[in-house]
Each structure stands twice: as structure tokens, then as C-alpha cells.
Amino acid sequence: MEFKHRSVLLEETVNGLNIKPDGIYVDGTLGGGGHAYEICRRLGNKGSIVGIDQDEAAIEAAGIRLKDFGEKVTIVRSNYCEMKSVLQGLGIDKVDGIVLDLGVSSYQLDTAERGFSYREDAPLDMRMDRRQTMTARDIVNDYSEKDLYRVIRDYGEDKFAKNIAKHIVIEREKRSIETTGQLTEIIRGAIPMKFQKKSGHPAKRTFQAIRIELNRELDVLKNSLDEMIDLLNPGGRLCIITFHSLEDRIVKSAFKKNEDPCTCPKDFPVCVCGKVSKGSILTRKPILPSEEELEENSRSKSAKLRIFERK
């Protein structure tokens, strides 16, 4: 299957980077190369971009899509949390802009055997990096009921988390849970019918939760934001697209802390903590998809773009 992914908030993100023709840019979630392609189009002869992704299918697809830009493009298979060492390995100290699109690609969702989708029956996988040995199957079958409950409650924000965890444990005692279809049926059985009718697909939140846990998505994000801001040249920008409230909260609070890191009590006449602002938030409210984009691409529905500019 061809790697297809429609880049969400494409114009808004690329415009938000305020691209300098001779600048150095990083796409930390390269995917099919949609954002990177638009960045490359605005670069001059001396400009360049580093694309990072942990998914081999994405790397292959982006390589084909960006091949006409030749030496301007460097693609590295890694996780964006390794951005600093990836750049050091390329002899790059600072960059002029970084973009992260934190959504699961359409390709990953639509390729049944990747096991991301609750709409297709496939082995429980959900690995963004297939070099990783642990899969969603391991979480579903090996986590304690307490840990399953924690994951579904915290990362899926599902009010039936306790019941879903209980049902999973009951069912796996009869036989191991191997497929997305099996898991979906178990979740259906754990949520009262009247709630299933009005709040989207019953398995959506649990699948999100397991995927986040498996790929350590929130930890990776939380632990990378400060470092990415430090990698920016003065005037450089960090553009991040999130797809659920958990990610958005992390980005919002990290941006706030970097804009105003002072820990002095509010009634102090002067700052004595010595913590200096690293820049400013350019999006007081996140940028949302236009009506037109929502009509064309339903998966953009929950997308939010936030932008930070380095001092």
C-alpha cells in the first residue's frame, strides 16, 4: 500500500515557520513528507531540511516525494526525541525552525496489519517503530488490571476505563487477545449501549490509550520540548500540531514555562530566581483547521497548531 498522509494545517504551519531561504529546518515527524515538501519549495540554494521519522514506510515514501530537492534534504530514521544528537551527527548546532505533526498518519491507520485501527481486524501491533519488540498485544495480555485501568483512564480519558480493564482481564483468562477485532468486541461489551450511540466509536479512546502507552508518546513529547527550543537560533520557530487534549496541554504548558520561567513569588518587586525567558508564544489561542479543510479531511477535526519563537 502506498504511503498516503494528508498534512493537516499545511499552509498555516509552513507560514508559521517564517522560512528564511538559506535557513536550516527540521521536520521531526516526517511522515510522507507533506510539510517538508512545502518547506523545501521555499528554500534557496543554501537552505536545507533534516527529516526525522521512526517509521520505515514513512522514510521510504518521503525519500521518493522529496527526491527532486536533492542535497537540500537529509532523512534520518530516528525518534524526534533524539533530535539533538541527530543534528550533532550532521554537524548542525542550531536550526531556524522545527515542525512536529503529532498525529498518527493516515497510512498507519489505513494499513490494517499495522494494528492501529479499530475498524479493521488485524494483529494487535500499533508500533510506530517496528524495530521495537513490544507490541499492543503485550500490553493487552500482560498488564495488570490496575495498570490497564491507569492507561485507559489517563491516556484515553475514558470514563468506563475501570470496566474496560476488568472485561479485558476476564476475557484474556479464557484465551489470549490477539487481534484488534477481539479487543473491539470486548470494549463494546464493557460500555453501556446508550453511551455507545452518542459518543463515537466505543473503542476509539482505549486504542488511543494503548498506542500512547506503547510508543511512550507523551513522555517523548514532554522530555523533548525544552531541548527543541534550545536548538533554535534567535527568531527561529517551533510549530507543533497536536490531535488530543493530553498532547495540547503538554505543549501549552511547556511554551508558557519557556516564555515566563520566573519562579519568584508574584509579590516580589524584582526577579531573583535568575530564570530568563527563552522567547514568546505566537499563538495565544491555537490555530484550528478552516471549514474548508474540515470538509476535505475529517481527520483534521481535533488538530491544533501552537507556535513558539526563540529570542
Residues 73 and 156 occupy one common structural domain: no
One domain for residues 123 and 210:
yes
Residues 17, 282: Cα–Cα separation, whole Å: 11
CA distance 181 to 106: 19
Q: Partners of 75 in the beta sheet?
A: 51
Angle at 128 between CA 125 and CA 131, to 5 degrees: 85
| Calpha distance 87→98 (Å, rounded) | 12
Instruction: Tell me: pLDDT of 2 over 60.
Output: no
* pLDDT of 5: 58
Looking at 215, 241, 275, the residue that finishes a domain is 215
Structural domains of the chain, count: 2
Q: pLDDT category, 108, cuts 50, 70, 90?
A: confident
Q: Are residues 51 and 96 in the same domain?
A: yes
Q: Is the pLDDT of residue 15 over 80?
A: yes
Q: Report yes or no: 33 and 66 within 8 Å, Cβ to Cβ.
A: yes
Residue 232 and residue 98 in contact, taking contact as beta carbons nearer than 8 Å: yes
Is residue 186 located within the same domain as residue 120?
yes
Statement to judge: residues 59 and 206 lie in one domain: no
Q: What is the pLDDT of residues 254-283, one digit of tens each?
A: 999 999 999 999 999 999 999 999 999 999
Instruction: Check whether 44 has a pLDDT greater than 70.
Output: yes
pTM to 2 decimal places: 0.94
108 is in an annotated binding site: yes
Q: Is 35 annotated among the ligand-binding residues?
A: yes
> Is 147 marked as binding a ligand?
no
Domain termination site, one of 188, 215, 242? 215
Could you give the percent of the chain with pLDDT greater than 90? 91
Does 1 have pLDDT greater than 70? no
Asked if residue 59 and residue 47 are part of one domain, the reply reads yes
Q: Is the predicted pLDDT of residue 160 greater than 60, yes or no?
A: yes
Instruction: Say what the pLDDT of residue 110 is.
Output: 84
CATH label of the domain that carries residue 209: 1.10.150.170
**Same-domain check for residues 230 and 201:** no
* Residue 278 to residue 261: CA distance in whole angstroms: 8
pLDDT for 72-96, tens place per residue? 999 999 999 999 999 999 999 999 9
Q: Which amino acid is at 276?
A: V
Work out the mean pLDDT of the chain and round it to a whole number: 95
Q: Is 132 assigned a ligand-binding role in the annotation?
A: no
Is residue 96 annotated as involved in ligand binding?
A: no
pLDDT at 3: 58
Residues 130-158, mean pLDDT to the nearest whole number: 98
pLDDT at 104: 87
Check whether residue 102 and residue 124 sit in a common domain: no
Domain check: are 24 and 37 in the same one? yes
Following DSSP, what letter does each residue of 111-171 receive, concatenated?
-GGG---SSS--BS---SSTT----HHHHHHHS-HHHHHHHHHHHH--TTHHHHHHHHHHH
CATH number at residue 296: 3.40.50.150
60 pLDDT above the threshold of 90: yes
Report the C-alpha gap between 30 and 75 in whole angstroms.
Answer: 8
**Same structural domain, 58 and 139:** no
The whole-number pLDDT of residue 6 equals 72
Residues 6+ apart with CB under 8 A from 156: 205, 206, 207, 208, 209
Closest CA to 118 of 181, 187, 193, 209: 181
Considering only the C-alpha atoms of the chain, give the largest distance between any 2 of them, rounded to a whole number of Å: 66
Residue 27 assigned to a binding site: no
Which residue segment(s) compose the domain that 140 sits in?
A: 114-215
40/99 same-domain check: yes
Distance CA 247, CA 251 (A): 6
Tell me: pLDDT of 4 over 60.
no
Within-domain flag for 1? no
- 103 belongs to an annotated ligand binding site: no
Confidence of residue 106 (pLDDT cuts 50, 70, 90): confident
Residues forming beta bridges with residue 53, ordered by sequence position:
77
| Boundary-marking domain end, from 187, 215, 243 | 215
